[in-house]
Structure 1
Amino acid sequence: MKSKRESTADKLTNFLFTIPAVVLYSIFFIYAVIVGVNYSFTDWNGIAKTYNYIGFENYKSLFENQYFWNTLWVTVKYALLLVVGVMITSLILALCLNSIKHLKTLTKSIFFIPAMIGGVTISLIFDQIYYRLVPVIGEMLGISALSQSPLASAKTALIAVVFVNVWQAVAMPTMIFMAGLQTVPGDLYESAMLDGATTFQRFRYITLPYLMPTFTINMVLTIKAGITSFDYAYALTAGGPSRSTTVIGISIYNDAFNNMKFSLANAEAVILFIIIALLSLIQIKISSKGGVN
């Protein structure tokens, strides 16, 4: 009887501890999403106390706007470049760090330092590197392509911004990959080596299947980070030159705070939410087929 009472008390205690998190999540996420979706069907400018419902006019306006489609395309390119850069770099780093025998903790801590610095701070540092250091290096090496900052050209600005994002974003995926590598049984490697399997074969048929769950986590997080990116592009280029780095986050910001079209900005945010949800579901579905059963 006593143990049953203790079990009930434990359940009640656990339930009470979840209440603050549920309340905060409901207010700052669920309620905010519902309000945002509601405003996307209005003509609210963000200041007026009253507004009118205009149906799907905001969405219709976006789909008929060529700038919006260009912004979506820039965002897709940004996300793809970020995913490729982060996944390849973090996987290589994880494999290298996992093979280190001594001072592994110290080495991991050094590689994790960029994740603890704010995105705007990193962007401002690289802004000076691009504008002051890169042209000097280009002049010393006689490379005309490096004679000016890569942020000044519409052809290279997006890649330059993504590079900064990748530099900071690889830390967490690397740690996740390293955690995944710890789940691979060492006996499998030994058996494969006795059977004459090459390093690539061991990676392809042993390491990779065991890393699929961590691949899924990193892919979903990186895709979301790429599509919702704002601070790097805004701090480095503010969307220029020639809108070549105007991702959808900057477009939402400009419509909301510069153009005072909060309802239109909410419509863009809703579309962004749908895109992220669909991509995440597709990625999880694909990745779940390649793991270890």
Structure 2
Amino acid sequence: MKRTKLLQRNQILFLFTLPILLMYCIFFIVPLLMGMKNSFTDWSGTSPDYNFIGIENYIGIFGDERFRNALWFNFKYTFLLTAATMVISLALALILNQKIKARGLFRSIYFLPAVLSLVTVGLIWNELFYRMIPAIGEATGWGLFQSSWLGSPKLAMYAILIVNLWQGCATPIVLLIAGLQSVPEDLYEAASIDGATAWDKFRAITIPYLIPVLNMVFVTCVKGGLTTFDYIKAMTDGGPMQSTESVGILIYNHAMQEGKFGYSVAESMILFVIIALVSVATMRMSNGKKVGD
């Protein structure tokens, strides 16, 4: 009798999850399988006719200097984005977790950029860089500000990075504040009695409790850096001189502008594998980590 009731309960629960499962298959699994198939073709994206060419696209990609440069840009950008986001977010979370006046107001201000569209943010900062930076350079005479950073092959990536950090640190700050509030105050009091310094408490108490949140922030930043598209599209479109052409922009250009849809899908598959490997490696490194490890 109990077994029958348990079976009926499981069937009912499965029916509740069935719509979500169907939507996941329709909007993720099916496109993924179709993309894998198209990556082995020479489809232009518009023509009804195409040929299966095997792994020709993948061979061409690994010998494509433009793809290697775009991938190298993604790696550099991801490293800088991840490191800066984690440091800045943690520092601001520690400050905003203190008992300061108008703490709620400051938290709201720092979270405000997160509710804005990525493209909107890119367009706003695009105007700031083209109008404000030269004005600062004209007023101060500083060579670094004589012209817009977005027009410099050496500085364009850092300009995009600043904008990404301005918006991208909002959510990690909220997550880290929540993590900090989960740390028992008794541990800090006991550590103070034992003569622990602020650094000792931060290293031995705060960081271990923040490991799950830090891991989430790390994976999110890596994924965001490797798939960056919106900011670049809105601000530089991969220029100047392809200095900010990420893999995402390259995939878009090959598919939409150059009619190499099968080739671009193969590039996206390679990017998918890279993100998956990085995510799995990160999760495995942090898996089983406990407070005090």
TM class, shorter-length = over 0.9
1:209 is matched with 208
Partner Cα separation in structure 1 for residue 148 and residue 164 of structure 2: 17
Partner Cα separation in structure 2 for residue 236 and residue 121 of structure 1: 10
| Residue 173 of structure 1: how far off its partner (Å) | 0.9
1:70–1:205 CA distance, 2 compared to 1 (3 A): same
Contact 1:215/1:287 (CA < 8 Å) preserved in 2?
A: no
Q: Is residue 232 from structure 1 mapped to residue 231 from structure 2 by the alignment? A: yes
Output the amino acid matched with 1:231: D
What per-residue deviation string (whole Å, max 9, x for no partner) do you get for residues 163-217 of structure 1?
A: 1011101111111111211221211111111111111111111101111111111
1:169 is matched with 168
1:248 is matched with 247
What per-residue deviation string (whole Å, max 9, x for no partner) do you get for residues 131-168 of structure 1?
A: 10111112222211111111111110001001101110
DSSP 3-state at the match of 1:53: coil
Unaligned runs of 5+ in 2: none
Partner Cα separation in structure 2 for residue 232 and residue 116 of structure 1: 15
Instruction: Detail structure 1 runs of 4+ shifted over 6 Å in the superposition.
Output: none
Contact 1:58/1:267 (CA < 8 Å) preserved in 2?
A: yes
1:31 is matched with 30
DSSP 3-state at the match of 1:113: helix
Partner Cα separation in structure 1 for residue 114 and residue 211 of structure 2: 23
1:189 is matched with 188
What per-residue deviation string (whole Å, max 9, x for no partner) do you get for residues 76-129 of structure 1?
A: 111111111211111111111111355444432222110110011001110111
Q: Is residue 268 from structure 1 mapped to residue 273 from structure 2 by the alignment? A: no
Alignment of 1:1-293 (within 5 A): 11-288=10-287, 291-292=290-291
Say how many residue pairs are matched.
Answer: 292
DSSP 3-state at the match of 2:259: coil
Contact 1:79/1:226 (CA < 8 Å) preserved in 2?
A: yes
Partner Cα separation in structure 1 for residue 101 and residue 14 of structure 2: 44
Output the amino acid matched with 1:40: S
1:31–1:160 CA distance, 2 compared to 1 (3 A): same
DSSP 3-state at the match of 1:269: helix
Give percent identity, aligned residues only. Answer: 44
Unaligned runs of 5+ in 1: none
| Residue 8 of structure 1: how far off its partner (Å) | 6.3
DSSP 3-state at the match of 2:31: helix
Partner Cα separation in structure 1 for residue 148 and residue 235 of structure 2: 11
1:146–1:289 CA distance, 2 compared to 1 (3 A): farther
| Residue 290 of structure 1: how far off its partner (Å) | 5.3
Partner Cα separation in structure 1 for residue 288 and residue 83 of structure 2: 20
Partner Cα separation in structure 1 for residue 136 and residue 12 of structure 2: 62
| Residue 227 of structure 1: how far off its partner (Å) | 0.4
Partner Cα separation in structure 2 for residue 273 and residue 194 of structure 1: 50
Bigger mean CA deviation after superposition, 267-276 or 102-111: 102-111
DSSP 3-state at the match of 2:40: coil
Q: CA RMSD for the aligned pairs?
A: 1.9
DSSP 3-state at the match of 1:278: helix
Partner Cα separation in structure 2 for residue 291 and residue 233 of structure 1: 38
Partner Cα separation in structure 2 for residue 72 and residue 124 of structure 1: 25
Partner Cα separation in structure 2 for residue 266 and residue 224 of structure 1: 18
